[in-house]
Every structure is written in C-alpha cells, then in structure tokens.
Structure 1
Amino acid sequence: MRNIVFEITRFKGTPIPREALGPTRSKQESYMSTIDLNSLSLDELKKLRKDVDLAIKNFEDRKKKAALAELEAKAAEFGFSLNDLTGGARARKVNPPKYRHPENPDLTWSGRGRQPDWYKELTGAGTAPEDLLIVKSA
C-alpha cells in the first residue's frame, strides 16, 4: 500500500503534503480515503480537482476508444464498416434563408428563431414580410 500512497503523492508531479495523508489502508479501501482533504490548502485542492477531472476525462476517452475499436472489429467480422451500419455521421440540416434585406443582400434570415434587428426595423416601418421573401409565391 505504501506504493499506492506514493503514487497519490506524486500524481502529475505535484507532491501532496505528507501530513495530508492518513494512515495506510488495505488495498480494498479507496485510494482517496488516504488523503485528508481538510489539511490541504485551497490551491492544493484546486490542483487535485483539476488533476482528477483530467484523469476522469482521459479514462472516459480510453473507454470510448476501446468500445469503438471493439464495435469496428465486430462489424468487420460481418463484412461491414461501422459507418455502413450506423449511416455515418449525420450532417446538421441548415435552414435556407427565407427573407432577405432589400438593400443589403448579405443580410438574410431563415424565418426561424429570433427576428434580426433589420427585419424588425423594416416590418415596424411598414414593409410587409411578404416583400422581404427571397422566393415569392405566385
């Protein structure tokens, strides 16, 4: 267990003060139970949290990569690629512009979401929304 405590103290090259470590415990007990968090300074706690967050992210990334590799291998056994089975990455549908500013054609709006300022100004001044349509219905 002494090696485990040493690994915790040397995690990411930043030693944790020895007084922060409690008595050594059996392997079955949690590694974190050997650190007395109350004796750490705020900077040490923030560093520890940052290191733990990074370790968790790296762990999750490794697990995702391993799962993806396993799925790709299984798909290859059946003669497919993973993209063949999942339909590949789906592109987000972009709504085409529906309204255009009459004087500045670079200003457009899809008609969804919040109304742009130019649209509110023109309609507020009496311009009919149908006059701003890019494709006018017959």
Structure 2
Amino acid sequence: MSATLQELLAQRAAIEKQIASAQREEREGALTKIRALMTEYGLTPADLAAKPGTARAAGGTPSRSTGKVAPKFRNAATGETWTGRGLQPKWLKSALEGGAKLEDFAIQA
C-alpha cells in the first residue's frame, strides 16, 4: 500500500512537531539542572563565561596585570638585567657556561 504525497507531508509535519516538543522539554530539563548546580555551588553567569583555570573561574577575584617585573639578576660589567622570566639572555648564558653561578648575578634587595 503506497501513501500519497499529502499523507507523507502530514506525517512529516506531525513528526517535526514531536521533535520540536522533545527538544524544548530536554532544553528545559537541562536549564533546570544547570540552575540547580549554579545555586548549589554559588555560581554566577560571569563564572560560566570565565576561562577555565583563571582566578574568576576558580571563584576568586580576577588577577590584574602589575606592569613590569623587577629584575632579579644583573651583569655587573655591563649593567644588563634579567627578571628571571623567559629565556636566559646571552650574556648570562655565556657566563654560566664559563663556570659562573646564577647566584653571582642575583640582585640583593
């Protein structure tokens, strides 16, 4: 028995309504779960927008840039400095290869 085009279109419309209804119900259920978890853990929409691993995502205050970092090492001969962050500068690397110790270049506070 072959269904007519009109019957098939009617079936499709009914199925699309069922799909839309099921999607709406699942979405509402998901939102209910999310709201409950947010209440349970004291989360806000801002916490959801924060990147994982940041202070705000961890529930703390957002970190602020403090500007320049004070140098921790100085070449007494040239006055060049290094903060201790990133790659070691050439002057320090060559001095260390020559037998010097990192502590020899430490800036005393």
Q: Shared fold (TM-score greater than 0.5)?
A: no
Relative to the length of structure 2, the TM-score reads 0.40
Structure with greater helix share of residues: 1
> Which protein is bigger by CA-based radius of gyration?
2
Relative to the length of structure 1, the TM-score reads 0.33
